Amino acid sequence: MTDDRPEAGRRSGPGRRSGPGRRSGPGRRPGSEDTRGRILAAARHRFGERGYDGATVRDIAAEAGVDAALVHHYFGTKQQLFVAAVEFPIDAFAVAPQLLAGPPDRLGERLVAFVLGVWEQPAVRSALLGVVRSATTDAVAAAMLRDLLASGPFLALARAIDRPDADLRAALVGSQLVGLALARYVVGVEPLASAPTETVAAAIGPTIQRYLVGEVSEAGPGVSRRPPAARSRAG
């Protein structure tokens, strides 16, 4: 019995052509990387816009133009998808030398300008917003935010400066800048939300400068050292 089907329509074995310009065989099928990329982009957008709880796999799949089952195929659970989507390309150890290469008394201003520049990148902003919005309801997101504040680029910079209390300095810097990002990009507080980056960096830079190189001990300059009873009598 002969097979009268056209050559292009026959089922090919591994490594054989099944049509003009096409090759079948083991490994990823053509376009799978594009599909994965579309899913990640949709996930960053949805998590950034709605947070972990508000974003659903079905919504992410719809935005990516794929079936929800394909999302699970590539990433497993929703939480695994979240972890993959919110990774952002910041090399903590490369950031510190870049920021230190400039006038020491303007380090805080450079750091604020750098952080705002990162937030201005749409893909990175979506990832960071996803973490910030989700940190209050999802343990994984909360852990990511803690890592960013406690062991990310802020700690690398504080240690590179070689001042006492690097961990505390990094946490103070991180909390200040995350609060700034929350007000500027999430809540949209005006005129802060629309203020030029240079204006914001110049205004907040001195505070960040003090956190990095100034006095951050329990009772720094201007903090009363009187015991509680004395303060109470004085009041």
Same domain for 157 and 178, yes or no, is yes
Tokens, residue 1 = 């019995």
Question: What is the band of 31 on the pLDDT scale with cuts at 50, 70, 90?
Answer: low
Claim to verify: residue 103 and residue 196 sit in the same structural domain: yes
What ranges in the chain are assigned the alpha helix state H?
Answer: 32-54, 57-64, 68-75, 78-85, 92-100, 107-119, 122-134, 139-151, 153-161, 166-181, 197-213, 228-234
| For residue 134, pLDDT beyond 50 | yes
Quick one: 69 and 162 in the same domain? no
Tell whether the model's pLDDT for residue 24 goes beyond 70: no
Where a domain ends, among 85, 108, 126? 85
Domain tally, the chain: 2
Determine, yes or no, domain membership for 67.
Answer: yes
In the block, tokens 């003090």 appear at: 210
pLDDT of the residue at 90? 63
| Average pLDDT for the chain | 78
* 68, 105: one domain: no
Q: Is 137 found in the same domain as 50?
A: no
Predicted pLDDT at 172: 94
pLDDT at 13 over 70: no
Q: What is the pLDDT of residues 196-231, one digit of tens each?
A: 999 999 999 999 999 999 988 754 444 434 444 444
Does residue 127 sit in the same domain as residue 105? Answer: yes
Are 179 and 207 within one domain? Answer: yes
Do 114 and 170 lie in a common domain? yes
Does the pLDDT of residue 138 top 70, yes or no?
A: yes
* 141, 195: one domain: yes
In a domain, 230, yes or no: no
User: For residue 48, what are the domain limits?
Assistant: 32-85
Examine residue 229 and state whether it is found in any structural domain, yes or no.
no
Which of 23, 53, 85 corresponds to the end of one domain?
85
DSSP track, 9-72:
GSPP-TTSEEETTEE--SSPPTTHHHHHHHHHHHHHHHHHHHHHHH--HHHHHHHHTS-HHHHH
